[in-house]
């Protein structure tokens, strides 16, 4: 069945280093992917998205890479800051409509001082 999974449940990086959070998806028909950030005590917050006709998309300090060949999605955060500590979720969907979003289990990113 459809599923979105994560390679690692936790990730620790030093402040200032770059971090990479990975996500595997199983539905090759998915054409839209989103990364959400969830800080403690808050709801998930949209970070960046990418459509399947793209391989890379950059935002402010974040880059999402999509490898459709191996069905892999990654989120790169440059020069991590303490405020980046959170759980990061990838989500996938096919077509339009948020009701079709399938969320992964999440990766907890911890930034060490």
Number of residues that bind another protein (CB under 8 A): 20
- Shortest Å distance, C-beta 36 to another protein: 8
- Shortest Å distance, C-beta 76 to another protein: 20
**Residue 106 near residue 7, CB atoms below 8 Å:** no
Among residues 104, 107, 109, 111, the one that binds another protein under rule CB under 8 A:
104
The verdict on 89 binding another protein (CB under 8 A) reads yes
The verdict on 10 binding another protein (CB under 8 A) reads no
Beta strand segments in the chain, E: 4-5, 10-14, 19-25, 32-38, 45-51, 56-58, 62-67, 72-77, 86-93, 102-103, 107-112
């Amino acid at each position: 069945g459809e599923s979105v999974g994560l390679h690692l449940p936790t990730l620790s990086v030093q402040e200032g280093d770059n971090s990479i959070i990975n996500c595997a998806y199983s539905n090759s028909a998915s054409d839209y992917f989103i990364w959400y950030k969830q800080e403690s005590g808050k709801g998930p917050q949209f970070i960046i998205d990418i459509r399947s006709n793209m391989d890379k998309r950059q935002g402010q300090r974040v880059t999402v890479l999509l490898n459709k060949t191996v069905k892999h999605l990654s989120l790169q955060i440059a020069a991590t800051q303490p405020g980046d500590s959170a759980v990061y979720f990838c989500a996938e969907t096919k077509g339009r409509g948020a009701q079709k979003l399938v969320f992964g289990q999440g990766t907890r990113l911890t930034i060490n001082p």
